[in-house]
Amino acid sequence: LGNAKGDVVVVEFFDYNCPYCKVVMDPMLEAAKADGKVKVVLKEMPILSEDSLTAARAALAAKKLGKYEEVHRALMKFRGKLDEKTIFRLVGEAGVSAEQIKKEMMAPEIEKQIKKNIELAHALDISSTPSFVVAGADGKAARTLSGAIEGQVFKQLFDITRKGGRLTGVN
């Protein structure tokens, strides 16, 4: 999401049943959009429940169908715990056939992607959601943060990252 050629990259590790992930989604995306030069990469990390895994599979299946953003937003905007029935209702409301998603979500590459996301999180010592890695597009000035971060903090992180990770005006 955001600017595919952005000079700052935000990678978010999230769970569709994480209430803090849901709270931080709009402020993060709004900060990235307002900045205009931020690329947002979303990494499903279904650690809270089996329903979280079902939601992650459904979203990744929607990506194969060109509807990831719509399904992602529908799942993240839902307040409360997602269960299988609700997941497929929201997928349908996002304009994707639940039957098609059910078929696509069992593809081996989807399971592989989820496993890769979790392995990457572990390699970065990330064990909770939401967690973020903010870095320059070149990988420099990277920092990892966890928790529900406010939009203004994202804006500051983007600026600090562009300055090579240094705060200005601080001795």
- 28 contacts 154 by C-beta, under 8 angstroms: yes
Q: pLDDT confidence of 166, banded at 50, 70, 90?
A: low
Tens-digit pLDDT profile for residues 116-148: 999 999 999 999 999 999 888 887 778 888 888
Whether residue 130 is preceded by a cis peptide bond, meaning omega within 30 degrees of 0, is: yes
Q: pLDDT confidence of 167, banded at 50, 70, 90?
A: low
* Burial classification of residue 23, based on how many CB atoms lie within 10 Å of its CB (0-12 exposed, 13-18 middle, 19 or more buried): middle
Tens-digit pLDDT profile for residues 25-59: 999 999 999 999 999 999 999 999 999 999 999 99
Tell me the two tokens of residue 33: 């959009």
Sequence-separated (6 or more) residues with CB below 8 Å from residue 97: none
Res. 163: pLDDT tops 90: no
DSSP labels, 9-74: EEEEEE-TT-HHHHHHHHHHHHHHHHHSSEEEEEEE---S-HHHHHHHHHHHHHHHTT-HHHHHHH
Rounded to the nearest 5 degrees, what angle is found at the Cα of 91, between the Cα atoms of 6 and 103? 100
Q: What is the pTM assigned to this prediction?
A: 0.88
pLDDT at 170: 42
